[in-house]
Structure 1
């Protein structure tokens, strides 16, 4: 075990230094920088703008009949990003610096007069022409609850419960061939109650797919909302930053802190440990989770997932599960889910 750990540390060190040197060479060779905006959100004190600084944006115009090989090449190109560190960004007098992977977060003071809904905020790089627009969702003070939903096999047909099926579907499809479950579109829209209740999406998919997923959502008519995706890049300490469960759990923590007065409905599936992640979230945040909804893709829940689901129900949280979300919205909305978190249970 000690030898394996030592080898892992050595390989990681070599890989991280190689990526660092490659990024430096790319930066010297290509000084162009562009901003890729992500969908932001609001907390009680700030508007949280997010994005990434790259040397170029890769945008494709796929055709529904194009070959699997072309799909694969286009998908692969989304991961071959040239990120730019140390770039200063500015919005409404607030500045931030892009990190080693090009990511940035701008925390704009939230003024009392700013109402609920969507805001489009320009973000620029001082000394350079042009800017990007970062959309931000501000939750309504009248919201009854907030919704957090997984993406793969919860909303988007993927087959993530099988590694080979997941890789095949993810790498050989395109934005026109990937399919959202029809019941997911109506379910999410019903829970939002015409935008009254904020909807957030949390996934272990990488940030490289933010625009790709946004395009799929828009084409299917799935409600727009801030996404919390995962950094799959190298850091000084890890090959991949954080595990599947850690990423989802920490994202839920952030969203609950951003909406301290709201109860939450957590939506996922039984194919990627969502039952465990949501069970732990219920335990960490007593009184904050009003309901857990789980799609059962493929073979359905295994024994361990079934046990986690039973533990969620035993904690007094409404648990709905099945191969489809049909009928779940009416059941949830009929319950007296209060907007005050401490009254949610």
Structure 2
């Protein structure tokens, strides 16, 4: 059904683009995303737009002001088929303006690697990528909504109200999540965030995370655009599962800790990931928001444990050690 909708909607979207967007926009800019490294490459990610959309929040702003600013984040003008360059490496933006530059990893040192990137006919930017070192003990892949950032995603109306009427200064980050992530960072574990939030919120989420003193980490968000074959780019589970698979391939051999909640099917997604990658997932940590885990999620947690995965779950992350060792 979604493929049929995509075939109908994509030509309509492209026709609207031709009417309302410049055919050859000048002064384009790069919206930079945090990238990551594989054993062979450094992947720099971003999006080319005609201008950057940023909010200017104040703590006392009304819900209406916040709603208007949040809506503005989605009124972007993407630039397709534009060349971006980092040294000798080039890439072309897709229909929605996204690009990924594949640079040779070479002898890049562990940590954050910075690279100037140019864009044809526009303003360049410095893009960064996380290079995982050989001494990392394990890797962490974490959800965002109701895992780190309170959204009420288990309730559609509550989620929409919280997400659209708050701002970067008022959104609530769980202190126990900050403590847990800081503990992982202290252990030398690389952290990656995966969410079904749209890429339009990348900078917004970064500001919230910086204010909360969360570790800096690449995000894998969702494209809500309409392609020739996909309508709203798949489901929540498809997106999260594909991101987990990609990260496991990018950082091979390391044990994996998955952090999430029971409000958006994370037990189902994490069980499927553990089944696809036998032995890689060693621990799953789940917050139980709202009414907590239902019978299906409880069964999936038992299934994870049957695979040998340590499962920690409860209303919060209080008292959880940021390691992968089983208790004696």
TM range (shorter): over 0.9
Question: How far has the Cα of 1:239 moved from its partner?
Answer: 2.1
For residue 298 of structure 2, the aligned residue among 296, 301, 306 is: 306
Question: How far has the Cα of 1:286 moved from its partner?
Answer: 0.5
Worse overlay, 31-40 or 163-172: 31-40
Pairing 1:1-20 to 2, within 5 Å after superposition: 9=4, 12-20=6-14
- Tell me whether 1:296 sits opposite 2:291 in the alignment: no
Match of 1:343 in 2: none
Pairing 1:1-345 to 2, within 5 Å after superposition: 9=4, 12-25=6-19, 26-28=21-23, 30-111=25-106, 113-126=107-120, 128=121, 130-193=123-186, 196-329=188-321, 332-335=323-326
Partners of 1:92 and 1:306 in 2: CA distance: 51
Distance 1:333 1:249, change over 3 A: closer
1:152-181 CA-partner distances (Å, limit 9, x unpaired): 000000000000000000111110110100
Aligned length: 326
Bigger relative contact order, structure 1 or 2, given CA contacts below 8 A and separation 6+? 2
**Uncovered stretches (5+) of structure 1, i.e. residues with no partner:** 337-345
Partners of 1:289 and 1:14 in 2: CA distance: 40
Question: How far has the Cα of 1:334 moved from its partner?
Answer: 4.5
Q: TM-score, normalised by structure 1?
A: 0.91
Paired residue secondary structure (2:146): coil
Question: How far has the Cα of 1:147 moved from its partner?
Answer: 0.3
The answer on whether the counterparts of 2:259 and 2:284 sit within 8 Å (CA) in structure 1 is: yes
1:127-156 CA-partner distances (Å, limit 9, x unpaired): x35411111100111000000000000000
Question: How far has the Cα of 1:29 moved from its partner?
Answer: 7.5
The answer on whether the counterparts of 2:282 and 2:324 sit within 8 Å (CA) in structure 1 is: no
Distance 1:151 1:298, change over 3 A: same
Partners of 1:86 and 1:129 in 2: CA distance: 13
**Uncovered stretches (5+) of structure 2, i.e. residues with no partner:** none
Question: How far has the Cα of 1:18 moved from its partner?
Answer: 2.4
Partners of 2:8 and 2:236 in 1: CA distance: 24
Partners of 1:97 and 1:109 in 2: CA distance: 18
Question: How far has the Cα of 1:209 moved from its partner?
Answer: 0.4
The answer on whether the counterparts of 1:101 and 1:233 sit within 8 Å (CA) in structure 2 is: yes
Question: How far has the Cα of 1:32 moved from its partner?
Answer: 3.1
The answer on whether the counterparts of 1:88 and 1:97 sit within 8 Å (CA) in structure 2 is: yes
Question: How far has the Cα of 1:58 moved from its partner?
Answer: 0.6
Paired residue secondary structure (1:39): strand
Worse overlay, 11-20 or 255-264: 11-20
Which structure shows the bigger proportion of residues in helix conformation? 1
